[in-house]
Structure 1
């Protein structure tokens, strides 16, 4: 019969850890692919946007506005970014309760018959011995897998770089 220590050693912990690691890697890949698909969708979705409005204040204090026609820009260009996640922690918790019981039962039955006669005595003894051994083992186990995901900033190169080229003539002094 295996000992309690052996029962604990038989738990395939390395296999559980390996499967947890592979599961986290597969889940991380799926999360990253989802974020990339979201970035593509944000880059492809266009909305009309007025990029600049100029407010002119005249010498008399009157205010007028000059604005450009709307330009189609992507949602990514106006600052909507996909959310990226990463696994910050993964825990396997295994609890095992092993109970082993052994009991032995021995029954002895003795019966005697005695005959007493004239100057003679005889007896017969009958013995009936039975043995009964019982073994019992109860194993209770629970396991729990806990993961914690946290949002992280998008990769730095996903955000578009805004460059301004002003070709207007500059006032000379």
Structure 2
């Protein structure tokens, strides 16, 4: 089983950056497609709008209202537009903490015993060696991906320019 640290080190940086870039491109395409679908829905949905209400105040103080005939308009024509987004920033952050420790203990016990008798002697030496070694390793790894999206204005050619032509006869100037 590979360690966390080795798994993080096994992914080459160029591959990590490529995968991030491709992921952002795919997400951007999905965002753009969503905005285009929203634009289509806003262009197709129609509502009735009353384009003008004329308020007239008579010389005697009475007020009257004349309402123009309703006009059918799309939601885009009344000013509702889809929101477009783009990725402004992307960051890959990899952090790894490695802690290793090694403890070695050695203990030596030496014991001697001697015996002397008539024309004979004996001796024994006893050596006890105890050796222990402890090795520990802790690896903690984290990776983090941060992206920042910002709204951007819709493409300028997506929406038609509205031009108003008023063919009504201008009112005569007031007489003094």
Q: TM-score normalized by structure 2?
A: 0.74
Task: Map 1:52-63 onto structure 2 (within 5 A).
Answer: 52=52
Report the CA distance between 1:12 and its aligned residue. Answer: 2.3
Partner of residue 23, structure 1:
23
Q: Do structure 1's residue 10 and structure 2's residue 9 form an aligned pair?
A: yes
Structure 1 stretch 38-47 or stretch 67-76: which is displaced more?
Answer: 67-76
SS at match of 1:27: helix
CA RMSD, 1 decimal: 3.2
Match of 1:114 in 2: 114
Equivalent runs, 1:1-173 vs 2, <5 Å: 10=9, 12=11, 14=13, 15-52=15-52, 68-166=68-166
Separation in structure 2 between the aligned mates of residue 140 and residue 37 of structure 1, nearest angstrom:
44
TM-score by length of 1: 0.75
| 2:174 corresponding residue in structure 1 | none
Q: Is the 8 A contact 2:111 2:127 kept in 1?
A: yes
1:154 CA drift (Å): 0.9
Unaligned runs of 5+ in 1: 1-5
